[in-house]
Structure formats: C-alpha cells, structure tokens
Amino acid sequence: MKVLITGAAGNLGCLLARHLRDGHPELELLLMEHHKRVPPDLRGHPGIHIRPADLAKPGTLPGCLTGANVIVHFAGVLFRARPEKFLPTTNTLYFHNLLAAARKAGVPKVILISFPHVEGPSSPARPATGRLDGQPESVHAKTRLEEEKLLFQQIDNPISLRVGMVYGQGILMIDAAEWFAKHRLLGVWKKPTAIHLISKTDFCRAVAAAIISPAAQGTYHVGDEGQDTLQSFLDLACGAWGCRKPWRLPLGLIYLAAGLCEAASALFKTFSPLTRDFIDIGRVSYHGDTTRFRRELLPVLKYPTIAEGMEEMKY
C-alpha cells in the first residue's frame, strides 16, 4: 500500500511519517514536499519517496499522486496574521485541487485531519456526533467544515478524523505554550473551556488504523476518555514543565495580545504565535462522541487520560 501524506514537512505530518516508517514497514510512504523540506531523517529511507508538488498548481499534482492508494491530508497554513484572508484559499481551494487530482488518479481513500469544532460548541454532555450542518464560529473551523463537505461529495471512500487537542512534546502548540510558560507569559481566560485531548502516540495509532482498515469510512471523533478543560490541562502541563500556572486574564486582554502579534507579523513578515481567530476557536468548548472510533479503529488507547499521558509532555 502506498500512502501519500500532504504537509509531510509539517509538524503532524512528520510525526505520522515517522510513526508509519518505524511501526508499519509494509507501507510505502509518498511525502509531498513544497517550500518546506522534509527533515533529513525521513530522506533516503528505502520505503519513503519525496515528491514535489504545489496544491496551488493543479498541474503539479498528477505526478505526485501516481500509484497512491491512500491520501492523508495535513497541508495548511498556521501562525500567520489575518487568517480570514488566506484560509478560504489554503484550506478550501487547495483541498478542492487535491480531491480533483485524486479522482483523476483513481485514489480510492482520502483521510482529512479535521477537528470537532466544525460542529460548533460541544461538551461531554452534548458531544459532537459527525454532523455536517454545524455553525462554527472561527474561520479555521468554517473552512475545515467546507473541506469535509467537499470530501464527502467527491470521494468514494472518505474519512474525516475529527481530532481533539494533540498533546506531547514536539507538538507546535504545546511547545509554544511551554515557551510562554517558562517566560511567565502564558495566560488563559477565566471561564472553563471543555476540550477533548488525545496523546500524540494515540493520534498516530488512530491515523494508522484508518489507513490500514479496509472497512473504515465516514467521520470518526478521535479523543481519549478524559473530561478536561483547557485551564486544567495547562495547569497540569505547567506542573510538568516546572512552571507556575498560567495567568487567568480577561478575555479582552488576550484578544489585545493576539492583535499585537498579528500586527507585528504583518509588519515584519514573520509568523504570528497568536491570532484572534486562534482565540475564537480556542474559547469554544469541544468534545466528540468517540464510540465509533473506539469500536472500529482503536479499541485500546495507550494513554486513556492525561493522567497516564503526562509522560508525553516530557522529553
């Protein structure tokens, strides 16, 4: 089986590629490379092939997709100011280009990495169930919902993995939080926000199961057995890092900080570690119904809750 990973040079794409390389030698990996190069440890392996392509240029895609049996789609843009200006293009339009190329190439299975926010607010009491008629608030969630709709309209064997917050050292958002915490700059709003966690190890195991299973199809909510909040998670994480707990700040102050980060990013053409749309999506509670995920893809988690998974937070 040949598995094409878009965004293979990115954070989660690299994580999955290494997991499949080390744990599933029967799979042949095709890693799509654009501006950012795939890391050296993923180059030169006999079971890994680097293929250049640009999702903005459909003509570059046929050669990249040749022979692929499964596509796992990660590619996207984060940490840039004014995401409302580019996400309709980098999320929706680029994914449309990929799906069109997949249909022409006869790729039967496409796996989209999504998140529960596409259904709008949810909670352990009222979990997200896989609906496509949600009313999400953030631009990230709105454009990802449009991607899901395209996926289910155009692909014979579509899979959307609505993944909770992936935690562990080496995950960009977690590493950024640790940096802020160690500089006593980490803050969070006061109102508890329900979140659904999944360790980086179980995330990779879930995607691998979706790739390998011939029966997998449809929407799966990928999360652990815990019932956590963003505030409780950050408190635990800071304890693991040896830092004080995050400041509890007024929401308006956090939006102000995000606006300043975006202004600096736009002015100096650098990445923005915080955007207002990140706050929009971050303050929405989310929790997915994992019944189908546990039944069909991953019955046993290595880390059922954050209590067992705290070792993932340390190098």
Instruction: Give the dihedral of Cα atoms 168, 221, 293, 212; nearest 10 deg.
Output: -70
Non-local (6+) Cβ contacts of 71 within 8 A are 3, 4, 5, 6, 65, 98, 102, 107, 109, 110, 111
Closest Cα to residue 189, out of 243, 246, 151, 141? 246
Residue 82 is assigned to a structural domain of this protein: yes
Low-confidence ranges of the chain (pLDDT < 70): 75-83, 315
Question: 218 is written with which tokens?
Answer: 């449809």
| Residue 78 confidence (pLDDT) | 62
- When divided into structural domains, the chain yields a total of 1
**CA R_g for the chain:** 19
Closest Cα to residue 219, out of 110, 131, 313? 131
| Residue 315 confidence (pLDDT) | 57
Non-local (6+) Cβ contacts of 183 within 8 A are none
Q: What is the pLDDT of residues 195-253, one digit of tens each?
A: 999 999 999 999 999 999 999 999 999 999 999 999 999 999 999 999 999 999 999 99
Residue 261 is assigned to a structural domain of this protein: no
Closest Cα to residue 203, out of 115, 138, 291, 273? 115
Question: 94 is written with which tokens?
Answer: 């680029």
Residue 88: Cβ within 10 Å count: 15
Q: What is the pLDDT of residues 96-108, one digit of tens each?
A: 999 999 999 999 9
| Residue 102 confidence (pLDDT) | 97
Residue 35 is assigned to a structural domain of this protein: yes
Residue 231 is assigned to a structural domain of this protein: no
pTM > 0.85? yes
Range of the domain at 73: 2-163+198-223+288-294
| Residue 79 confidence (pLDDT) | 62
Residue 149 is assigned to a structural domain of this protein: yes
Residue 102 is assigned to a structural domain of this protein: yes
Strand positions, DSSP E, 25-164 = 28-33, 48-52, 70-73, 109-114, 157-163
Non-local (6+) Cβ contacts of 95 within 8 A are 55, 73, 112, 147, 150, 151
Residue 242 is assigned to a structural domain of this protein: no
Supply the CATH number for residue 208's domain.
3.40.50.720
Residue 125 is assigned to a structural domain of this protein: yes
Element (H, E) at 201: helix 200-212
